[in-house]
């Protein structure tokens, strides 16, 4: 008897079985979060997408990833299933271009639920140009909220869209690689990679 070959989605679902457990009781069965894995030079990333856009892109080794996904599922009141839609397929293509040094900005639509302060912080992150960095203090000053450095840094850490919302471009005042949930080694790699592929060499602190 020939063995039954498993699909890519089935293999993914078995590898990350914890993702697909415990859908919220009040989940809308029609609201689906499609979850898939994307290979990158820095290791696998998990991509989640709804019919509104990309809602998750995280390195698989991110600390507290299980809680982040559980919180997102509850926040969106949706079911997570293995698979792709047009947005997860789009980000896979765009990430491939990014890691080839061909893409500096992303065009995939984003679905980023959060309060007004959270949205403001993440929008501010999107304004940090490719190949450049800023400090947490500078970020707070750019938001005209210099006393909110800790709140802003904490919100940076709750960013669910690694690389695309570029929290890796925010560094300590002395140039240290601080505050990256997937590891400071990845943060340094991303910054050096962007620097080497950037036309502009301004505002680089290391």
The residues annotated as belonging to the active site are: 167
Which residue, 178, 123, 183, 121, is CA-closest to 152? 121
CA dihedral 53, 55, 57, 60 (to 10 degrees): -140
User: CA distances (Å), 189 to each of 12, 20, 64, 162, in order?
Assistant: 27, 31, 21, 13
Q: Which helix (H) or strand (E) holds 190?
A: helix 184-196
Length of the chain: 206
DSSP 158-169: T-SBTTTS-GGG
The vertex-74 CA angle with 183 and 35, nearest 5°, equals: 60
Which residue, 18, 63, 21, 60, is CA-closest to 43? 60
Q: How far apart are CA 117 and CA 154, in angstroms?
A: 12
Q: How far apart are CA 151 and CA 136, in angstroms?
A: 10
């Amino acid at each position: 008897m020939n063995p039954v070959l498993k699909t890519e989605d089935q293999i993914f679902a078995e590898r990350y079985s914890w993702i697909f457990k415990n859908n919220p009781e009040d989940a809308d069965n029609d609201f689906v979060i499609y979850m898939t894995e994307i290979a990158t030079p820095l290791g696998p990333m998990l991509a989640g997408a709804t019919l509104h856009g990309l809602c998750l892109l995280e390195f698989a080794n991110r600390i507290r990833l299980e809680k982040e996904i559980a919180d997102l599922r509850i926040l969106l009141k949706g079911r997570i299933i293995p698979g792709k839609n047009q947005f997860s397929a789009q980000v896979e293509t765009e990430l491939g271009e990014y890691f080839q040094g061909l893409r500096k900005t992303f065009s995939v639509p984003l679905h980023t639920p959060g309060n007004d302060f959270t949205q403001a912080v993440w929008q501010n992150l999107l304004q940090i140009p490719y190949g450049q960095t800023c400090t947490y203090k500078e970020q707070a000053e750019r938001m005209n909220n210099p006393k909110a450095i800790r709140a802003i840094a904490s919100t940076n850490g709750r960013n669910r869209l690694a690389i695309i919302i570029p929290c890796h471009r925010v560094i300590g005042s002395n140039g240290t690689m601080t505050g990256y949930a997937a590891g400071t080694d990845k943060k340094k790699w991303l910054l050096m990679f962007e620097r080497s592929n950037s036309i502009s060499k301004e505002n680089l602190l290391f």
